[in-house]
């Protein structure tokens, strides 16, 4: 590989606004002069300490500040971490079209319809091999394989050079639906000379190749054959249409009806079936209300909840709160997924609950990843032969793992760029430089509120969750400032008051002494009064309990 040298040619800026050093929230801006295009627009799910938060979306301040340059959003596939933020982003930034393949567009449309935005956002369906002109850019969609159909890599042509962005991918020579990844086209583009490869890093730590999705179909078929007298319940990702297709194929073969449960699962299957990506024999699907009309051995239930999500259908079945399905001894429960890092405990809890109800659990050989392992990544590098390697999609350890793969193939350290969200990478022929940093961050969505929950609110929620709250209420005379009533104490999540009457009486005494001192000094400033109440009560509670609940004084004046 050549060493990096200064070059006066026009340079391209690559600006990841999310999706690095994490799983999810993928969004990257490409900027050349007065043109910006954006690849993907995803969300991430909240961390354990984000109490009450539903979703996390990227901060797009940089895009809002440069709206006049925006030429289009290009979406690689239909997973939530690549399309989930679109309705939120386009409420603030609706100045350009969204380009995507047919199924991806169908899933995006469903989201926009839920947000009553379907007629407000321009969308264009793109076929593989199509080239889209967008300002100074031209973008080509290339067929790849993933755990959802219609996934695409992008070849981004700019005056500074060609960028190949793989999206999430694996090399599957025998996909359940459609054709294998277009390795020939990737090789042809590689011969033209590629400036940089932005390659999926999620499975970069794993050696070898990712197995074909069809291998799961054989396991599913054997589960149906071996459990012909049991009810079968299969939990998988809602978006894995190929997995659902193989379940339907086995159900039809063994004479079982298929019931789909879970809102996201129902929505995805409806969209995929309507667009022709899922083939369901007539009279195979039944609704949840009809489930009791069939004997157990004649049904299979396909459901969400494979990651132990507390409100998902399988979790509610496991804890006995599902209104339509009760787990029985002898039920065969199949987890057709691997726990996402961080979800292991939640999945284990669901499995324990199901086992206590007498269900049999199967987890082995019923899932394959949708991401490329090390040998597949090597294949893509060998075909594309980029000047620069830019690992994307994954935690920091995954990015480093791909960097090591690139080094093993001959790329020198200066030509491998591990970026952080917000970095501005300038690229030209044999030239690269981190030229600055733009504002990025995570916007939290709680209910219908977008961005109204921040670090301060989360800190308060964490404090409430850890030590509870004490509310101090007192009434003051408006003229003299003397105490007319209280101080009274209301406690939640701190101690059980009926078992802690001595503690509460002592706390009231501390508050009474505090008010006596303040009145002796003729202090009437409410801020001073509240501050002394908070400080004195906090010191007392810590001394007695080694806890620091949130203390909120409320003063009423009459």
Cα radius of gyration (the chain):
29
CB 308 within 8 A of CB 347: yes
Q: Three-class SS of residue 390?
A: strand
Check residue 290 and report its DSSP letter.
G
Nearest to 392 by CA among 197, 205, 209, 206: 197
Burial of 374 (0-12, 13-18, 19+ CB in 10 A): buried
| Residues 6+ away with beta carbon under 8 Å from 73 | 37, 38, 39, 40, 41, 86, 96, 97, 98, 99
Dist CA 204 CA 375 (whole Å) = 9
CB 41 within 8 A of CB 33: no
Name the active-site residue from 200, 331, 353, 467.
200
**Beta-sheet strand order (sheet of 285-286):** 285-286, 257-261, 299-303, 232-235, 332-335, 360-362
Is 200 in the active site?
yes
Is 371 in the active site?
yes
Could you tell me the maximum CA-CA distance found in the chain, to the nearest angstrom? 88
Dist CA 504 CA 540 (whole Å) = 11
Name the active-site residue from 82, 146, 371, 393.
371
Nearest to 281 by CA among 316, 307, 245: 245
Q: Which two tokens stand for residue 369?
A: 């990843």
How far is residue 189 from each of residues 21, 133, 412, 504, measured CA to CA in Å? 28, 17, 22, 75
Q: Which two tokens stand for residue 181?
A: 């990844």
DSSP secondary structure, 151-202, as one string: -EEEEEEETTEEEEE--S-B--SS-SSSPPP-HHHHHHHHHH-EEEEEEE-T
Dist CA 379 CA 136 (whole Å) = 30
Instruction: Please give the positions annotated as active site.
Output: 200, 371
């Amino acid at each position: 590989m050549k060493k990096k040298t200064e070059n006066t040619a026009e340079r391209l800026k690559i600006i990841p606004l999310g999706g690095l050093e994490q799983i999810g929230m993928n969004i990257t801006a490409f900027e050349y002069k007065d043109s910006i295009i954006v690849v993907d627009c995803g969300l991430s799910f909240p961390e354990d300490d984000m109490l009450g938060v539903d979703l996390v979306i990227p901060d797009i301040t940089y895009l809002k500040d440069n709206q006049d340059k925006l030429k289009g959003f290009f979406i690689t596939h239909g997973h939530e971490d690549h399309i989930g933020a679109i309705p939120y982003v386009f409420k603030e930034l609706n100045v350009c079209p969204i380009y995507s393949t047919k199924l991806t567009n169908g899933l995006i449309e469903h989201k926009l319809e839920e947000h009553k935005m379907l007629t407000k956002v321009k969308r264009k369906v793109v076929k593989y091999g199509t080239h889209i002109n967008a300002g100074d850019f031209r973008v080509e969609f290339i067929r790849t394989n993933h755990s959802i159909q219609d996934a695409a890599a992008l070849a981004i042509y700019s005056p500074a050079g060609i960028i190949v962005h793989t999206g999430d991918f694996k090399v599957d020579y025998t996909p359940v639906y459609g054709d294998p990844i277009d390795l020939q086209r990737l090789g042809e583009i590689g011969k033209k000379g590629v400036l940089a490869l932005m390659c999926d890093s999620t499975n970069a730590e794993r050696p070898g190749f990712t197995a074909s999705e069809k291998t799961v179909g054989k396991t599913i078929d054997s589960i149906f054959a071996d459990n012909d007298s049991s009810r079968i319940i299969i939990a998988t990702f809602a978006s894995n249409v190929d997995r659902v297709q193989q379940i339907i194929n086995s159900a039809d073969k063994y004479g079982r009806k298929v019931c789909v449960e879970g809102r996201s699962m129902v929505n995805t299957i409806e969209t995929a079936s309507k667009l022709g990506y899922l083939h369901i024999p007539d009279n195979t699907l039944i609704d949840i209300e009809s489930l009791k009309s069939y004997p157990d051995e004649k049904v299979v239930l396909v459901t969400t909840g494979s990651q132990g999500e507390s409100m998902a259908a399988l979790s509610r079945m496991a804890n006995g709160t599902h209104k339509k399905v009760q787990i029985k001894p002898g039920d065969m429960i199949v987890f057709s997924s691997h726990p996402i890092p961080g979800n292991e405990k939640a999945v284990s809890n669901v499995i324990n609950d199901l086992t206590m109800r007498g269900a049999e659990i199967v987890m082995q050989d019923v899932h394959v990843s949708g991401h490329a392992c090390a040998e597949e990544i090597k294949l893509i590098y060998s075909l594309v032969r980029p000047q620069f390697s830019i690992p994307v999609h994954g935690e920091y350890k995954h990015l480093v793992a791909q960097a090591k793969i690139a080094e093993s193939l001959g790329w020198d350290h200066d030509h491998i760029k591990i970026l952080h969200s917000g970095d501005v990478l300038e690229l030209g022929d044999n030239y690269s430089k981190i030229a600055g940093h733009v504002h990025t961050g995570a916007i939290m969505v709680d209910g219908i509120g977008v961005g109204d929950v921040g670090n301060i609110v989360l800190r308060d929620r964490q404090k409430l969750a850890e030590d509870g709250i004490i509310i101090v209420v007192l009434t003051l005379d408006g003229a003299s400032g003397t105490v007319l009533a209280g101080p009274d104490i209301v406690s939640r999540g701190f101690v059980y008051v009926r078992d802690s009457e001595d503690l509460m009486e002592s706390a009231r005494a501390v508050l009474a002494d505090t008010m006596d001192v303040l009145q002796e000094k003729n202090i009437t400033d409410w801020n001073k009064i509240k501050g002394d109440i908070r400080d004195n009560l906090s010191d007392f509670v810590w001394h007695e309990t080694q806890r620091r609940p949130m203390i909120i004084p409320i003063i009423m004046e009459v």
